[in-house]
Chain A
Amino acid sequence: DTAVSQTPKYLVTQMGNDKSIKCEQNLGHDTMYWYKQDSKKFLKIMFSYNNKELIINETVPNRFSPKSPDKAHLNLHINSLELGDSAVYFCASSTPSGQGNSPLHFGNGTRLTVT
């Protein structure tokens, strides 16, 4: 059973469209994250949620809106997609929250291509 699952795996869309990426974890973790792998291959944190509450919002354009309906899900909605949004987006989870000594468990990533 996949612990952290993201859908879709690939997403190709045109500029200006709105799209969502879904993430679910079945590990019972409290905290979920969205990371973006940029063109230089850095993994950069975008958002962190703890028990459905936003903890970190890292200067991400407000076209990106995370939604956490429950602590097992953290979806990422992106409005008015731009070419520069093309990247691989990774969802991750960890527990317990607020402690850096818990490893992250990553999903397999969603490769977003904006044309």
Chain B
Amino acid sequence: ILNVEQSPQSLHVQEGDSTNFTCSFPSSNFYALHWYRWETAKSPEALFVMTLNGDEKKKGRISATLNTKEGYSYLYIKGSQPEDSATYLCASFRSYNTDKLIFGTGTRLQVFP
């Protein structure tokens, strides 16, 4: 994988459902993986920054895991709520000195009441 890829592109779930989506990134020269939440008409907000293989982070009902050897990260949302509706972006930072994050196109989540 040369780019950051996210799947699915969009997702519709019912309130209360749990859901997850995937970020695939180049595993070579990995340094960090970022997740952002981007609500319509707002700016992206950082959820997690992960650096260690096997790392798992949690913020409320949202959690993320990281596999740097195979180059993927999962984002999980437990008991989705309508306010979780947003685009979830991941971004890979591959090289220490270039301050360069490569973003995926995001997974657009809509939670219906």
Contact = CB atoms under 8 A, between A and B. Distances in A.
Given A41-B106, A43-B89, A45-B101, A100 B46 contact: no
Interface stretch (B16-24, B67-75, B76-84, B92-100): B92-100
A104 B43 CA distance: 11
A19 B58 CA distance: 42
Contacts of B51: 100-101
Interface residues of B, number: 23
A59 interface: no
B105 A56 contact: no
A68 interface: no
A59 to B, nearest CB: 13
Contacts of B106: 41
B34 A103 contact: yes
Interface of A: 4, 31, 33, 40-45, 48, 50, 55-56, 90, 94, 97-109
